[in-house]
Amino acid sequence: VGMLATSLPVTLAACQSEPPTADAPPTTGGGTDAPAIDDTPREDGFAAIGTVAQLDEAGFISDKTFQGEQVLVVRDPANADSLIAVNSLCTHQGCSVDWEGGGDFTCACHGSAFAPDGSVKAGPATDPLGKFTAQIDGDLVLVKVS
Ligand code: FES
């Protein structure tokens, strides 16, 4: 019994998964073979979160560690030439919202829904999603988080 007790902490430690790294690549649904991009913030505060090709292939770009923020970028359903970037942290209890291609951000945890402008369409959330400024520059999707 003593031997089992002494080996237990090692077994438990071995079962724990690795925490996500700060350099985890953005999620676009397009696989992990996307080329790396320079996400160093520029002088104007914008930084590249992905490419236009990634955005259009998956319909969104999501990065939960982008410049210290949880960012989800989509094309504006009302004007495909402009972008919408929100903080994907649900304002109810902090789950991540997803983009529904039809034009809403939805939270699977308790069913909240948010319009493209971040406003609440359905509770239990009562506060809008945080928003960031996003733009396209050449073939890059840029987001300014502060
Ligand atoms: Fe999103 Fe509850 S955390 S609806």
109 C-beta closer than 6 A to ligand 1: yes
115 lines ligand 1 (CB under 6 A): no
Q: How far is CA 52 from the centre of its chain?
A: 16
pLDDT of residue 100: 82
Kindly tell me if the per-residue pLDDT of 139 is higher than 70: yes
Instruction: Write out the two tokens for 3.
Output: 């031997």
Q: Say which amino acid occupies 23.
A: D
Is 84 a pocket residue for ligand 1 (Cβ < 6 Å)?
A: no
Q: Is the pTM of this model over 0.95?
A: no
For the stretch 71-90, pLDDT in tens is 999 999 889 899 999 999 99
List the residue whose alpha carbon is closest to atom 3 of ligand 1. Answer: 93
